[in-house]
Amino acid sequence: MSSRPAAVAFLVDVDNTLLDNDRVTEDLRRYLDRTVGPEGRARYWAHFERLRVELGYADYLGALQRYRLEFPRDPHLLTVSAFLIDYPFANRLYPGSLDVLERFRGWGPTVILSDGDVVFQPRKIQRSGLGDAVDGVLIYVHKERELDDVEQRYPADHYVPHLGEGRVGCPGDHRVPPAGPLRPRSGDPRHHSGRRSHRRAYRRPRRRRPVHAAGARLRRRRRRTG
């Protein structure tokens, strides 16, 4: 991390942006059906949804703890815990995700900006290999409330947030918005010139595409030039 602002920094979320978290959830549903049955699976997801409302993020292990309080003698609790902790997250990366992160890093500092618990979310990022593919990892309770901390840790003239939840001014279809200040700055002329200067310097296409679509384009380009 440098005290001198970078020209541009990329902020990228994980779930359903770089990694297909819907597939992870579906795998967990099937595993719960096999281990604790449909009734136990329904109770787990009831705890999960209540925790999501309380905390504002998905807490898979927290829901398992709540399930344990309700069914303290269920012998399957340890196997469900192991399933979550040892899940092969690298198998759920979108094709080309690592290629896109490599391309982003060639343009500027690239940081994972996510929210979640302090065990499962870092584990997911580490086991998927995403942590080694970026310049830093930031996980908050609510990432949209911590933008001042992000700016302090990774100062840049412009930011390209690519956050799957549609927060921090990002469209909900996982497409990269134009570069600009992370938060609007009144009277700052860079707020008005960011899109043009970024497009000229980095030649980002006018038509925005999802991260995994960009990865597919990189693979096709490499095959043609290889």
* d(C-alpha 78, C-alpha 11), whole Å: 35
- Give the pLDDT confidence of 209-220 residue by residue, as tens digits: 455 555 555 555
- Domain containing 107: what range? 6-19+94-225
Helices 97-107 and 211-225 meet at what angle, rounded to 10? 90
Q: What is the CATH number of the domain that holds 76?
A: 1.10.286.50
Looking at the structure, do residues 12 and 113 belong to the same domain, yes or no? yes
Looking at the structure, do residues 47 and 148 belong to the same domain, yes or no? no
Looking at the structure, do residues 10 and 76 belong to the same domain, yes or no? no
Looking at the structure, do residues 43 and 110 belong to the same domain, yes or no? no
DSSP β-ladder status, 136-140 and 6-12: unpaired
Instruction: Give the model's pLDDT for residue 35.
Output: 96
Mean pLDDT of the chain: 80
E-strand spans in 69-125? 110-115
Identify the domain boundary among 61, 89, 117.
89
How sure is the predictor about 74, in pLDDT bands with cuts at 50, 70 and 90? very high
CB 133 within 8 A of CB 94: no
Identify the domain boundary among 63, 89, 115.
89
Residue 16, CA distances (Å) to 6, 89, 175, 184, 199 in order: 27, 12, 12, 26, 26
- Give the pLDDT confidence of 161-201 residue by residue, as tens digits: 986 543 222 333 334 444 555 554 433 333 333 333 333 33
DSSP 139-186: EESSGGG-HHHHHHHS-EEEEEEE-TTS-TT--TT-BPPPPB-SS--T
> Of all residues in the chain, what percent carry a pLDDT higher than 90?
68
Looking at the structure, do residues 78 and 167 belong to the same domain, yes or no? no
Looking at the structure, do residues 27 and 15 belong to the same domain, yes or no? no
115: which 2 tokens?
């929210």
Looking at the structure, do residues 122 and 194 belong to the same domain, yes or no? yes
> What is the average per-residue pLDDT within 1-6?
73
Write b or e for each residue in 110-149: b if 16 or more Cβ atoms lie within 10 A of its Cβ, otherwise e: bbbbbbbbeebbebbbebbebeebbbebbbbeebbebbee
- Give the pLDDT confidence of 99-140 residue by residue, as tens digits: 999 999 999 999 999 999 999 999 999 999 999 999 999 999
Residue 75 scores a pLDDT above 80: yes
Which of the two residues, 4 and 18, has the higher pLDDT score?
18
Structural domains counted in the chain? 2
Asked whether residue 1 is domain-assigned, the answer is no
